[in-house]
Structure 1
Amino acid sequence: MSEFAGRRAVITGGGSGIGLAAAKRLAAGGASVVLMGRKLDRLEEAANGIDGALAVQCDVTDAGSVEAAFAKAREGGAINILVNNAGIASGRPFHKLDEAEWRRIQDVNVDGVFRCTKAVVGDLMSSDYGRVVNIASVAGLRGGPYISHYCASKHAVVGMTKALAVEWAQTKVTVNAVCPGYVETDMAEGAIQTIMSNTKRSRDEAVAELTKMNPQGRMIQVEEVAETVAWLCHPNSFTVNGQAIALDGGAP
């Protein structure tokens, strides 16, 4: 496949999970990929498994770090694709949620998307092709207990996606969001551990609690999310804009 030949893609949170799977899929389609994240050793290990990939350290909560990282990524050519995947989550009852934890989640999940998207605006607007794909969550489409701060952050990402899609509709750039349910990643593992700790349930019971939210009764695989990302980045996907695509097995 060569649908992304000549295109340069930046994937934040690219060292593992959904980000790494998306990078591999885009690279398989001919894209030159740049993996960004906080842990350089993990990024470099991941990049070694992708032909021509570049690892660039970046903390999306730090404006200076973002500016420097994208400048380095741009040394290999203008950026055409941005996958905003960096994100964090935690579970906490609202009455126990303090402002510090609220801000910690928003700073990565919302402000990080803002900073990284701002960093590529010039490249995107001067190109004949541009794609921004924001990895949100089904929590950006509906609510859930103990995750009000996370839900708020992902609703904000979906809102930003829709607003930019309209604002940039007369350009060659599309902006979309992918909203997965529970994906088999380290983040899901954290949710499993939280359930076990808070409810004293077994691991199997905790996993069952998560999978019951998917009518297919399963955890989503990172490759499935990556394939949706690739579809949204395809040259023939130009008419798909401002969408928040749920990957949840058909949940109501």
Structure 2
Amino acid sequence: MQIRNGQPSCYVLKNKDLELPSKGTVHLELDVLFNPVKACLRTFLPRERRLLEDNRKFSKKILARNVERVKRITMSLWNTIQFLRNCFLWESPVRSLFAFVESEKKGIRERIYMVQDIVITVQNLLEDLASFAERIKNTFNWTVPFLSVLACVVFAVATIVLYYIPLRYIILLWGINKFTKKLRNPYAIENNELLDFLSRVPSDVQRVQQAELKPYSGSSPFRKKRSTV
């Protein structure tokens, strides 16, 4: 997140959780081509999807971390989360037992897979909910100054537009744009500009994973490899 054009940097390698340091460092010098105008416009468009998506599996550590994040961000939704947690983590035996005996035709292996899929779904739901709330918080905390400045500019422009143009005209233009989008561009991807913007803001977990660790004192200085012709 702090990369600079042509600036040599030393990065400490991390473990598989991207939280603690591991053995070794890597020295990089990168050429960064950055256009602020294009970056602002691209922020409100959907992010590129990975060609290879990660196959998420159930993890007690991830589940516990997501529950803790949700509890820390908002307590108003805790009652709903607690209901789901009681249902799928056997804290309410009657409710969990009912999920097992729901269909007598299903084998025990299919029931285990069914409960496992439900737990993974709840785990991912908690992660998405916590990430959404943390991204809103980090926008106002100026975690990424470029995105926070862009949000302030958008709010200022929206205030000026609302002052001079009646709200009904703005809603009319917005509706025409949404309903004619497919006619003007059949291959256009449906998107939500607000969600696309928030997807660029890192959550608390991503901040830890993307944080740069200080190099070890004994790390070697940056060296350039010269290519021989």
> Fold conserved (TM > 0.5)?
no
Larger fraction in strand: 1
Larger relative contact order, structure 1 or 2 (CA cutoff 8 Å, min sep 6): 2
**Rg larger in 1 or in 2?**
2
Larger fraction in helix: 2
TM (normalized to structure 2)?
Answer: 0.24
TM (normalized to structure 1)?
Answer: 0.22
